[in-house]
Chains A and B, each alone.
Chain A
Amino acid sequence: MPDSSTARSRILASIRMSLGAASTADSIAAEYGTIARHYNRSSAAEEHALLDLFTDRLLEYDAGVHRSSREGIAATVAEILGLRAKHNIAVPAGIPATWLPAGFGFAVADTWSKDQLDKVEGTLSACSVAIAETGTIVLQNCPGQGPRSLSLVPDYFLCVVLAEQIVATVPEAFDRILATSTLPTTFISGPSATADIEMTRIKGVHGPRFLDVILAT
């Protein structure tokens, strides 16, 4: 291991010399508290308006959106996988068994290697919170969502979002995940994309090229 402790003290000394006298942790925390945050934290929109906005955003990203009742999730999953002609699906540990229809190959894949994941047709997972204004789904490493590679390596991702998980704004989403902020967390807004060639947005580069979302009310 290269020793960087000399560099560490040199850099910190240089910063302190540039900044002058150091402040105490308390005074820094107090100053942090004075930062002006007049931006919108929340929205007064009602649940059905949020669902509509979230749906519009997802459609704009070229994701598929399917409404379902809470009891009908398994049937909706079966219908979508049928349409997509997918059979072997990876799932995280802790996914509700009631979401999994019969007649498909669901396998718990939390400990799979990347090569195994590369061979499966898709992944089904829950989420932590969703943001209507930006069409974003937030996944964390916890039961029902699993490690990050699950929603990354397979070419198809199907996510179940419960109506009460949808918030309007980005700050509201942070309110929800603050307590678990040290978990590996991924914000997903549409299928992977690039605009590197002549600024044309192309769906599907390295992450899943196809994204479907079930909105369960």
Chain B
Amino acid sequence: MSEVHENQWNRRDFPEAARDLLQNSQTRKNVQHATNVIQAKRNKVVAELPDWEDLREAGAQIRAHTLRHLDHYLTQFEENCTLAGGHVHWASDAEDARRIILGLVQQHDAKEVIKIKTMTSEEVGLNAHLEAHGIQPIETDLAELIIQMGKDRPSHFVAPALHVNRAQVRDLFQREMHLQELGDRPEDLTDAARTYLREKYLRIKIAISGGNFLIADTGGMCIVESEGNGRMCLTLPDVLIAIVGIEKVIPRYRDLEVFLQTLPRSATGERMNPYNSTWCGAHPGDGPKEFHIVLLDNGRSPILADKEARQTLQCIRCAACLNACPVYHQTGGHAYESVYAGPIGAILTPQLQSMKEGRSLPYASSLCGACYQVCPVKINIPEVLIHLRGKVVQQDQATLSGKLSLWNIGMQAAAFLFADASRLAMAERIGQVAQGPLVSKNGFIEWMPLMLSGWTQTRDLKAMPAQSFRDWWTKEKAPQSNGKQPNA
């Protein structure tokens, strides 16, 4: 069962998937428009806060501290949530999570559930599992509804449908909601969604959500949203089931004073998003009578062992790194073939799968550092990307075919040559002669053989000059430097 659901992602490597997406000019235009708009708004509201860097630092320290003591804070959360009338469940993997949630829904004989946007639900393939058991999940976030009706996949955590434009949404809504007439102004589309979903909020008895923060000292939860669909789902039904990654806990309620400043500004470029809700367990006379929370590991706990990569789990899913990334800007989220796209997805996805899947993702970056600069919890994504590239190489080198691959032989040869000045000088002299047949009349190399062809596919390489810097230096400057090589 688990194979079926999880395989809808990670089918292809990044370069292959990206090549296809780059051909789709409509999607690229939509993605670029959306990311430009959010980036500009984000930069404006971040610049308003003189203490922005202090907030980032505090956020980073709170998250790092929590991860260092994750077992302590999780059990504290569990204890307090239970005292407040909540039921805490633990899920080692996606299959556990699906089984627990399906069991709860079936216990209440529900045929439909309403849902708040949750990445963890996507991660465990919950919707397909519920559908396979005759339960209809209904997404209530506008963008998620667009994705669900279009049988599409989310491409961004905050605005999952930013790759779709209004005309596309109009056609979709008209067809799926059976509407005779529908305009394509965003107001018309929003109105249609309001009417369509309101009846469901009033009728359906079970809701499923994710969670932005679990609060250890109160045993409470925080959900951050804009539309009010979140409030509808977590207030009106009889039963609420939340599925949340184990890393989402924070120590104290007070810590929200940091994240409720950095998250909205980073995510949507607002000083504050329209609605934040916090509550503990089940509150008599207010909200669901039954509250369940499923704490999902699914590959997170082993990441804590890697001290350099552990910071990946500090993420609060604002998606600022996606909006800032020049690679995401061109390809959009689908090229990552992963629930979590963009720079954070490039480091999170392969680690969640013990570096067995998504191994091309750490390379899907130019290492420009824009992601680190905007991260509200200071995850040094470029550092982790390089660290993971190292892991991918080590994994390859551990196999015979990897050891004997052209890449490995080429890299080992390069390492050997670069390690010693006289070897490098000799290689340069050989290169000057050997490049002869490849150099065009204009002085550029336009084609290279084998794995080197990747470089010349999209750009030309300047031929090596007749005299290297090293030769020039020896000839011109050597007498003043006592005949010593400058780098010897």
Chain A interface (Cβ within 8 Å of chain B)? 1-2, 4-5, 7-8, 10-12, 14-19, 22-23, 25, 28, 31-32, 35-40, 57, 61, 110-111, 114-115, 118, 131, 133-136, 141, 147-149, 152-153, 170-171, 173-174, 178, 181-200, 202, 204-208
Contacts and interface: CB of A to CB of B under 8 A. Distances in A.
A38 B254 CA distance: 15
A134 B272 contact: yes
Given A35-B58, A178-B253, A195-B268, A149 B235 contact: yes
Contact of B304 (A19, A39, A110): A19
B274 A11 contact: no
B221 to A, nearest CB: 11
A198 B69 CA distance: 41
B50, B142, B235, B304: residue with the most chain A Cβ atoms closer than 10 Å? B235
A134 B297 contact: no
B142 A11 contact: no
Contact of A141 (B198, B236, B286): B286
Contacts of B278: 181, 184-185
Contacts of A185: 277-279
A196 B159 contact: yes
A110 B61 contact: no
Given A110-B285, A147-B286, A4 B58 contact: no
B140 interface: yes
Contacts of A199: 33-34, 37-38, 159, 162
A174 B256 CA distance: 8
B190 A194 contact: yes
Nearest to A113: B202
A128 B69 CA distance: 33
B11 interface: no
Given A134-B271, A148-B235, A7 B71 contact: no
B272 A174 contact: no
Contact of A114 (B33, B187, B202, B218): B202
Contacts of B186: 197-198, 200, 202
B286 A189 contact: no
B111 interface: no
Contacts of B256: 174
Given A174-B254, A199-B38, A205-B229, A111 B99 contact: no
B246 interface: yes
Given A19-B71, A195-B226, A118 B202 contact: yes
Interface string B49-78: 011001101100110010011111011000
Given A7-B91, A8-B90, A187-B276, 6 more contacts: A12-B75, A14-B301, A114-B202, A153-B236, A193-B274, A196-B161
Of B166, B256, B286, B302, chain A has the most CB atoms within 10 Å of the CB of B286
- Name the residue in A147, A195, A208 with the highest tally of chain B Cβ atoms < 10 Å from its Cβ: A195
A56 B220 CA distance: 32
A181 B220 contact: yes
B58 A36 contact: yes
B218 A181 contact: yes
A148 B276 contact: no
Contacts of A184: 277-279, 283, 286-287
B275 A12 contact: no
A110 B274 CA distance: 23
B44 to A, nearest CB: 12
Nearest to B202: A114
A187 B297 contact: no
A103 to B, nearest CB: 30
Given A18-B301, A182-B84, A202-B190, A193 B227 contact: yes
A196 B190 CA distance: 9
A37 B306 CA distance: 27
A14 B166 CA distance: 46
Q: What 10 A-B pairs have minimum CB-CB distances, sorted nearest first?
A: A207-B228, A192-B228, A18-B305, A18-B304, A206-B228, A134-B272, A147-B286, A205-B227, A14-B301, A187-B276
Contacts of B261: 39, 170
Interface string B262-299: 00000010111111111110010111000000010100
A90 to B, nearest CB: 14
13 contacts: A2-B89, A2-B100, A11-B246, A11-B295, A14-B302, A22-B71, A114-B201, A148-B235, A171-B257, A174-B256, A195-B226, A196-B162, A206-B227
B287 A147 contact: yes
**Among the interface residues B87, B96, B140, B190, which one has the most CB atoms of the partner chain A within 10 A?**
B190
A8 B305 CA distance: 19
Contact of A174 (B146, B253, B295): B253
A18 B260 CA distance: 30
A36 B283 CA distance: 34
B65 A35 contact: yes
B231 interface: yes
A187 to B, nearest CB: 4
B174 to A, nearest CB: 14
Contact of A206 (B166, B232, B260, B268): B232
B142 A194 contact: yes
B258 interface: yes
B68 A19 contact: yes
B251 interface: yes
Contacts of A19: 68-71, 304-305
Contact of B275 (A7, A118, A141, A187): A187
